[in-house]
């Protein structure tokens, strides 16, 4: 008869982060939110908490209470291995990105702590290295942030690995400083807003599709304006595309904006639209809903798990510029309907996508892994 090995109770919870910088995009936002939730869970359960972060190449400081191993990725991996060799069974590690989790694939099973790996989107929608596959195979759970992420990652994940879906949440912004008053006065109110980095590898975010739909929207709603908030190397190409459509005078590229200005843009826009095909989740939609704005997203994507068609915004098919233009016109031409959708979006945010809602969803996953049980 095979003996059942009892799993020891966890005494320490460790957040291993790929990066926590304030301007690091959705992955960094998830890392910061996760870190706060883990710290609070550890406090409630009487567990020690430790935070480690991968050294940033630009030396950007980490979140308070987190330490960097310094010396680059190799030293970071060695420090993780050494930490686990000292009492592996009494520790639960949570990797907020598959990259740093590769070290688990290099360690023998007896030297590994119990651990989870977050699956955030495009980074798990492609074949993994051997070390990554071993790490994912040994994880107690792969925590995915959307059903869309699970479906796209499933062909590449090891067979039989446990997947838990936990939608993230956000906290209300409390940006410091003053917004850019000159920019806000120039833009006024009532524009269509899209927020996202203008990087060539992120052309899937839908900036091209919005620019292509704009002439048709302008033909049916003469006062339309599109505000594109964000910067990146793809900006010159998109600016040229705006000129080529003949609607450049209706488009304003703001470049990068600070938190206070972005918050003001959300509140001043008529609606938020980002027909992105490959979001792992779509925190910008949640931010827009928190500001009480109707949203336009693509059907069959992760943002469609956030935006409810006809209730908090509109979902349109991918590759259908006429449908995208029609959805924008529908909301621009009927401000009262857009307002009602925005109010419903705000209510949905308060129910489903706050930090407290994220904590509620994460709690049972963590509780299952820190309590004693059979391996």
pLDDT at residue 374 above 50?
Answer: no
- Residue 193 CB contacts under 8 Å (≥ 6 apart), including other chains: 227, 229, 265, 266, 269, 271, 272, 273, 288, 293
DSSP letter (8 states) at residue 371: S
| Topology given in CATH for the domain delimited by 10-169+355-374 | Rossmann fold (3.40.50)
| Topology given in CATH for the domain delimited by 181-352 | Rossmann fold (3.40.50)
| Mean pLDDT in residue range 317-328 | 95
Domain boundaries, the chain: 10-169+355-374, 181-352
Cα–Cα nearest to 219, from 144, 321, 84, 138: 321
What was the pLDDT predicted at 2? 43
Express as a percent the part of the chain with pLDDT over 90: 69
What was the pLDDT predicted at 53? 81
Distance CA 332, CA 223 (A): 9
Express as a percent the part of the chain with pLDDT over 70: 89
What was the pLDDT predicted at 298? 98
| Mean pLDDT in residue range 296-316 | 98
| Mean pLDDT in residue range 158-179 | 88
pLDDT digits 0-9 by tens, 329-342: 999 999 999 999 99
What was the pLDDT predicted at 204? 86
**Half-sphere exposure at residue 119, Cβ-oriented, CA atoms within 13 angstroms:** 30
Which strand (E) or helix (H) includes residue 118?
A: strand 114-119
- 230 - beta bridge partners? 255
pLDDT digits 0-9 by tens, 117-165: 999 998 899 999 898 999 999 999 999 999 999 999 999 999 989 999 9
201 within 8 A of 234, measured Cβ to Cβ: no
User: Residue 59: which pLDDT band, with cuts at 50, 70 and 90?
Assistant: very low
What was the pLDDT predicted at 60? 47
For 88, 103, 274, 290, 342, the CA distances from 294, given in Å and listed in that order, are 48, 43, 12, 10, 4
Distance CA 292, CA 294 (A): 7
- Total Cβ atoms within 10 A of residue 11: 15
User: Residue 62: which pLDDT band, with cuts at 50, 70 and 90?
Assistant: low
C-alpha torsion 151→153→154→155, nearest 10: 120
DSSP line for 28-52: HHHHHHHHHHHHHHHHHHT-EEEEE
User: What's the predicted TM-score (pTM) here?
Assistant: 0.91
User: Residue 264: which pLDDT band, with cuts at 50, 70 and 90?
Assistant: very high
Say if 10-169+355-374 and 181-352 have the same CATH topology: yes
What was the pLDDT predicted at 133? 93
What was the pLDDT predicted at 176? 74
pLDDT mean across residues, the chain? 89
pLDDT digits 0-9 by tens, 98-110: 888 988 988 887 7
User: Residue 75: which pLDDT band, with cuts at 50, 70 and 90?
Assistant: confident
pLDDT digits 0-9 by tens, 188-245: 999 999 999 998 766 789 999 999 999 999 999 999 999 999 999 999 999 999 999 9
pLDDT at residue 46 above 80?
Answer: yes
pLDDT at residue 6 above 60?
Answer: no
What was the pLDDT predicted at 56? 55
User: Residue 88: which pLDDT band, with cuts at 50, 70 and 90?
Assistant: low
Among the listed ranges 8-22, 179-193, 197-211, 319-333, which one has the minimum average pLDDT value?
A: 8-22
User: Residue 5: which pLDDT band, with cuts at 50, 70 and 90?
Assistant: very low
Q: Within the chain, where are the H helices?
A: 25-45, 73-85, 102-106, 130-138, 147-153, 181-187, 207-220, 235-245, 259-268, 283-290, 321-332, 335-352, 355-370
| Mean pLDDT in residue range 246-257 | 94
Helix (H, G, I), strand (E, B) or coil at 157: coil
pLDDT at residue 84 above 90?
Answer: no
DSSP letter (8 states) at residue 113: P
What was the pLDDT predicted at 188? 96
């Amino acid at each position: 008869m095979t003996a059942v090995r009892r799993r020891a109770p966890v005494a320490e919870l460790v957040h291993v982060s790929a990066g926590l910088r304030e301007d690091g995009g959705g992955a960094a936002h998830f890392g910061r939110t996760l870190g706060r939730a883990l710290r609070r869970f550890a406090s409630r359960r009487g567990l020690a908490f430790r935070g480690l972060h991968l050294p940033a190449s630009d030396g950007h400081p980490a979140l308070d209470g987190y330490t960097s191993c310094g010396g680059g990725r190799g030293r970071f991996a060695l420090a993780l291995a050494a930490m686990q060799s000292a009492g592996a069974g009494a520790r639960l590690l949570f990797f907020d990105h598959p990259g740093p989790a590769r070290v688990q694939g290099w360690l023998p099973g007896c030297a590994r702590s119990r651990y989870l790996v977050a699956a955030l989107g495009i980074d798990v929608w492609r074949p993994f290295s051997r070390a990554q596959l071993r790490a994912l195979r040994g994880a107690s759970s792969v925590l995915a942030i959307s059903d869309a992420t699970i479906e796209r990652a499933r062909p590449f994940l090891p067979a039989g690995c446990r997947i838990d879906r936990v939608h993230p949440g956000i906290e209300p912004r409390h940006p410091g400083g003053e917004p850019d008053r000159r920019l806000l006065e120039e833009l006024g109110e009532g524009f269509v807003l899209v927020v996202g980095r203008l990087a060539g590898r992120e052309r899937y975010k839908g900036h091209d599709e919005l620019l292509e739909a704009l002439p048709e929207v302008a033909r049916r709603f003469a006062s339309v304006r599109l505000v594109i908030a964000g910067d990146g190397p793809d900006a010159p190409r998109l600016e040229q595309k705006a000129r080529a459509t003949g609607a450049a005078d209706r488009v304003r590229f703001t470049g990068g904006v600070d938190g206070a200005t972005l918050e003001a843009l959300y509140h001043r826009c008529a609606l938020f639209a980002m027909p992105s095909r490959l979001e792992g989740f779509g925190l910008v939609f949640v931010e827009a809903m928190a500001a009480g704005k109707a949203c336009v997203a693509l059907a069959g994507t992760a943002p469609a798990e956030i935006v409810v068609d006809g209730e908090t915004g509109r979902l349109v098919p991918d590759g259908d510029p006429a449908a995208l233009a029609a959805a924008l016109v529908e909301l621009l031409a009927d401000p009262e309907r857009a307002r009602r959708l925005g109010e419903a979006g705000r209510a949905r945010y308060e129910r489903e996508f706050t930090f407290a809602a994220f904590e509620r969803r994460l709690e049972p996953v963590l509780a299952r892994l820190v309590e004693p049980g059979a391996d």
